[in-house]
Chain A
Amino acid sequence: MNQSLTHLPEEASESPCAKVVLIGVSTGGLKALCAILPALPADFPWPVLIVQHQHPDADDYLAQLLNEQCQIKIKQSDEKERIRPGTGYLAPANYHLLLEEDLTLSLSLDPPVNFSRPAVDVLFESAVDAMGQNCIGIILTGANKDGAKGLAEINHAGGTTVVQNPAQAVATAMPLAAMALITPDHILNLQEIGSWLVEHAKTHKEEI
């Protein structure tokens, strides 16, 4: 059944991450993240990895701000850090964020993808390699096409895909680009995404 768990190293099995939540967002991101992340309880069972497009010189202000508003811990990603449940990891400005197969984070300064660094596609594609069908990909408001390809890969790997309802997005390009490639499992309004995640986690727990 859950194939990825068989590959986890022992150290991780103490706090297994059965699934990982991946969020890609650009223009209008702060408001969108503030609508979703505070809805997650401190014991939310999965890590949340977030790529928010930012100015290359941005510091960790966004992480601090979100951390103050959330029950889960929100931090800027550190290199080689092991992801843990109930924690949100933001890509640092000007670095790509990737998930390794041993469920540690890595960073890279490879050239921008979709004119973006960090790029949503880079995170999502690496997460598919690491977690396969256990990825939950969420594309929110944004004014470019970043994330569409990555979300499609999550879809092809059997993972779960969510796109913000474009009719309500500050910038529609990112949700629409994703919907042009695949039919997402869920199209939700911002206010619904947090509670959907909480419900989804509960259902998953009952299934085990």
Chain B
Amino acid sequence: MDREATTIEIDLLLEAIFRKYGYDFRDYARASLKRRLRHRMSQEKIQSYSEMQHNLLYNTAFFDRLLESLSVSVTEMFRDPNVYRILRESVIPILNKRPLLKVWHAGCCTGEEVYSMAILLHEADLLNRTQIYATDFNQKSLNSAKKSCFHKSKIRNFSENYQHSGGTNSLLDYVTMQGDYAYIADSLKTQILFTDHNLATDWAFGEMDLIFCRNVLIYFNKTLQSRVVKLFQESLAPAGFICLGHKETLEFLDSEDKFKEIESNSRIYKVKQYQVNQ
């Protein structure tokens, strides 16, 4: 196989997606992106990236299916419970001193972690003075997030995560069962605004006290990672926090000296403050 030719084909395919539909995958990490493209190719019984490019340019339904393949949708409530424990113990007490709070879940997927955070804020009696923005570029994920339900088969895993995060109630206190699905209580949803936002192409988003962006940056190359971290810097309130995924770090990026990890390996970073009177 001519690897150089394949690289050109993929470059052109991503350029076509960007110019025709505005979704920018050009600075995504290539290896996993390629796997997804290939998966779609085999599903569609297509032989080459060039054929795929032709199809996506002239067939919107084809592109919709491709977009689904390119979007990650793996998430769970209280994923990495230890992170939520640290949020409870070390971050929420600081946020509690602020009169009004803004939290941004960037790349919120189907919303499981958004509702987890809402539960945390509720338990700290903070939810009613918090505005949560939950954004994703995938409209299907957002619609699913707004529905706020999950299959009963996930309850056990989610409940265990909740307990390990230091939760003292039962996760079932926050859901209503209807058939095979558990629906998140309405009271947790009033402060959440789900909206379309693309980290690769859109800009900053208000003065956030806490930005969640977990397991999104791993899909980007360094160029796009730097862009997104800069975007977060511009979106953060003074002394704001960023919470990344378990294997994500600001270490390799230019922004490292502007943030301090609040606890080793917590992946929760606080903006360093240089002003004397803060």
Contacts and interface: CB of A to CB of B under 8 A. Distances in A.
Interface in A172-191: none
Contacts of A132: 1, 3
B32 A96 contact: yes
Nearest to A80: B252
A108 B218 contact: yes
A7 B3 CA distance: 10
Contacts of A108: 29, 31-32, 218-219
Given A78-B247, A79-B249, A109-B215, A100 B30 contact: yes
A129 B29 contact: no
Contacts of B72: 109-110
Given A95-B247, A129-B3, A157-B1, A106 B34 contact: no
B74 A100 contact: no
B32 A106 contact: yes
Given A101-B7, A110-B74, A129 B247 contact: no
B247 A126 contact: no
A99 interface: yes
A53 B29 CA distance: 23
A110 B72 CA distance: 7
Contacts of B1: 132, 157
Among B29, B31, B36, B72, residue most surrounded by chain A Cβ atoms (within 10 Å): B31
Nearest to B79: A109
B146 interface: no
A130 B30 CA distance: 10
A98 to B, nearest CB: 4
Interface in B1-37: 1, 3-4, 6-7, 29-32, 34-36
A109 B74 contact: yes
A110 B32 contact: yes
Contacts of A96: 32
A42 B215 CA distance: 34
Interface in B176-213: none
Contacts of B74: 109-111
Interface string B243-271: 00101110010000000000000000000
Contact of A106 (B3, B31, B215, B245): B31
Contact of A98 (B32, B222, B225): B32
A124 to B, nearest CB: 12
Nearest to A117: B74
A107 interface: yes
A122 interface: yes
B29 A92 contact: no
Interface string A77-89: 0111100000000
Contacts of B29: 98, 100, 106, 108
Nearest to B248: A79
A129 B74 CA distance: 25
B247 A110 contact: no
A4 to B, nearest CB: 8
Nearest to B225: A80
Given A78-B247, A80-B222, A107-B247, A7 B32 contact: no
A146 interface: no
Interface string A57-97: 00000000000000000000011110000000000100110
Nearest to A59: B265
Nearest to B219: A108
A98 B31 contact: yes
A125 to B, nearest CB: 7
Contacts of B7: 101
B218 A106 contact: yes
A101 B30 contact: yes
A7 B4 contact: yes
A75 B18 CA distance: 38
Contacts of A106: 29, 31-32, 218
Given A7-B4, A79-B248, A92-B247, A107 B218 contact: yes
A99 B3 CA distance: 15
Contacts of A130: 31
Among A99, A126, A132, A157, residue most surrounded by chain B Cβ atoms (within 10 Å): A126
A159 to B, nearest CB: 12
A78 B249 CA distance: 9
13 contacts: A7-B3, A7-B4, A79-B247, A80-B222, A81-B252, A95-B247, A108-B218, A109-B218, A110-B36, A110-B72, A111-B74, A129-B31, A157-B1
